[in-house]
Each structure stands twice: as structure tokens, then as C-alpha cells.
């Protein structure tokens, strides 16, 4: 029996540079950090909520 290796897809690195803004010598974060996970885990912005992809924490916004 011959063993065939599956071809794996190259992993796409997250574009972390989109989460920060650099002005001169100061760096500011453009998104909120997750209060459960801590620094380095950003909340994803949705139309009605902000949620963490790591732990599932969500902040819901009022609609209307």
C-alpha cells in the first residue's frame, strides 16, 4: 500500500497591520480589545454587535 500525502493549502496570515494606526512615534489601536482574553484579541465589528472570535464574548448595540 502506498501512502499519499495530501497537499496542504498555505496558511494566510492575518493582516494585523490593519488593526493599528501609526502617527509619527505613536501607535493607536483601531479596534477594541476583548475584556476576557486581554490584549492582542480584538473584537470583530458587525452591524449589530462586536464579538470576539476566540472566546465568543459579544457586545450588542441598540438598533433603532
pLDDT for 9-64, tens place per residue?
877 777 888 889 999 999 999 999 999 999 889 999 999 999 999 999 999 998 76
DSSP assignments along 1-62, one per residue: ----PPPPPPPPPP-GGGGEEEETTEEEESSPEETTTEEEEEEEE-SSEEEETTT--EEEPP
The terminus-to-terminus CA distance of the chain in angstroms comes to: 64
Extents of the domains making up the chain = 32-64
pLDDT value, residue 3: 67
pLDDT value, residue 46: 93
- Give this prediction's pTM: 0.66
Amino acid at each position: 500500500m502506498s501512502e499519499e500525502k495530501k497537499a496542504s493549502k498555505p496558511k494566510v496570515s492575518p493582516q494585523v497591520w490593519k488593526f493599528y494606526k501609526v502617527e509619527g512615534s505613536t501607535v493607536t489601536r483601531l479596534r477594541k480589545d476583548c475584556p476576557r482574553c486581554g490584549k492582542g484579541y480584538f473584537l470583530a465589528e458587525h452591524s449589530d454587535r462586536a464579538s470576539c472570535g476566540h472566546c465568543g464574548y459579544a457586545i450588542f448595540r441598540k438598533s433603532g
